[in-house]
Structure 1
């Protein structure tokens, strides 16, 4: 079993919430903590905590840095948390994510994976506090960048300073970029399966529909769930050899094979199988607790 810290900007694009729900339905992953980054990280932490409650899980959630190291203005959709009443009642840590990350890695060197599915600000700040922490991360899983094109992906563009610092630190890293994640979509039939998965599924289904309405679409790309699934189901992905990544001003990312590098990128994905596995795990994350509480019939899950 992998022990994992999830670092997320949950609350804007619904894919972060989908990734969290997916991890809650992944039996080979122990979700040790959730850290939030970028913008109103307290609100994001309360939302992550709420999703844990809906799945019957007592998540330890730690808010992190609000402002990118690059100084770039934070993008805020405006709908973050609006479908979840009473978020202020959710208990979150008084610690700060960079300090907490260093502390957890020091306690368990080489034992913890980190999945970073937002800007890499918290990770970079943790490395600035304790450079040795780079050697304590078992593996870093990143959703970020776009390779082989001129697209500037949101996470790297939002804090290219942090992205370059982290990717230069020598951490064993797997990056899933936009050119891969955009091959996978979640459409209405899978949304209906998610919506039926107990209180967590109902809440996530509403958040998915809100995101669809924001873009006037009837589908979405599950960028972050795809990146996280590379940890759990590597057989559904193809990977490059090791190399190095460069992040130009504005977030443009390039990868070059290099035997001395510590970074690999996902190069191909079995799109339909990945979409199905994401959905299956989200449903599992929502139904187990609901069945225990008698809220849904286990024979129909």
Structure 2
């Protein structure tokens, strides 16, 4: 039986559809106990309402706390403009009071060494939490990050570039960390066959399918890269991935990330994955989140 893990999801849900896919994957994984969602980057109120709506579509009453809107780097927030437009009456979705950095510190302090943090947006909330309480770095069981780009042809990746100040603070704090970077996530695609499986999975699948198609239309594509769900799977399905030896990560002024092996380091990066199995697992977990087997039976004809 899979080990039960309690986790906090830190997310910029609402722009790239992959955050919503990651949330659905978590909700469809019985071994994950999602204790809170923290939103980050830009309109965190809207992002919180979207997270609550997706929880409701999955029949879950999620604890959501809005976080820091402005990056510590001072860079302008990138905003696609379509965030939440397919979801009616989002103002009816209420979320918890307070601020995400304060909530993170409190939860970690009350559950020292018991909580995983999955960070799939800029790391601003985590950096702010460490500024409030530096010891919080010692209270995180493990940090799972989607971000960075490692390799000979690497360029700055969005999450790290958006707040390189926060990325630098978090990734040098000594937290046990696994990073899934863009050169890994780009090996996985959500194509039309997987979209159709997702769309059949009840109200959650229908809403997520519409958001996926909206994201495709935004980029004039018929597929997308599920960056964030891939990062979540490094926690739930480690058998599908290979990791580096320990090391440390350096973040340049423009967000460019460099990994240096070091036995004393606390960071590992994903180096390989089974792309076909990862894509299949993402679709299966999303279907499971909807509480329906329709997607499974329609997909295989049984």
Q: TM-score of the superposition, structure 1-length normalised?
A: 0.96
The 3-state SS of whatever aligns with 1:3 is: strand
Matched residue, 1:113: 116
Q: Does 1:77 align with 2:80?
A: yes
Tell me how far 1:298 sits from its aligned partner. 9.6
1:32-181 counterparts in 2 under 5 A? 32-148=35-151, 149-181=153-185
Tell me how far 1:29 sits from its aligned partner. 0.5
The 3-state SS of whatever aligns with 1:206 is: helix
Supply the RMSD in Å over aligned alpha carbons. 1.3
Q: TM-score of the superposition, structure 2-length normalised?
A: 0.96
The 3-state SS of whatever aligns with 1:131 is: coil
Provide closer, same or farther for how the CA distance between residues 224 and 299 of structure 1 changes in structure 2, counting only shifts above 3 A: closer
Question: Given the alignment, which residue of 3, 7, 10 partners 1:7?
Answer: 10
The 3-state SS of whatever aligns with 1:74 is: coil
Tell me how far 1:280 sits from its aligned partner. 0.3
Aligned length: 295
Q: Which runs of 5+ in 2 are unaligned?
A: none
Matched residue, 2:253: 249
Question: Given the alignment, which residue of 172, 196, 200 partners 1:196?
Answer: 200
Question: Given the alignment, which residue of 211, 214, 231 partners 1:227?
Answer: 231
The 3-state SS of whatever aligns with 2:84 is: coil
Q: Which runs of 5+ in 1 are unaligned?
A: none
Q: How far apart, CA to CA, are the structure 2 residues paired with 1:93 and 1:298?
A: 35
The 3-state SS of whatever aligns with 1:219 is: coil
Q: How far apart, CA to CA, are the structure 2 residues paired with 1:187 and 1:131?
A: 43
1:16-27 counterparts in 2 under 5 A? 16-27=19-30
Tell me how far 1:250 sits from its aligned partner. 1.0
Tell me how far 1:297 sits from its aligned partner. 10
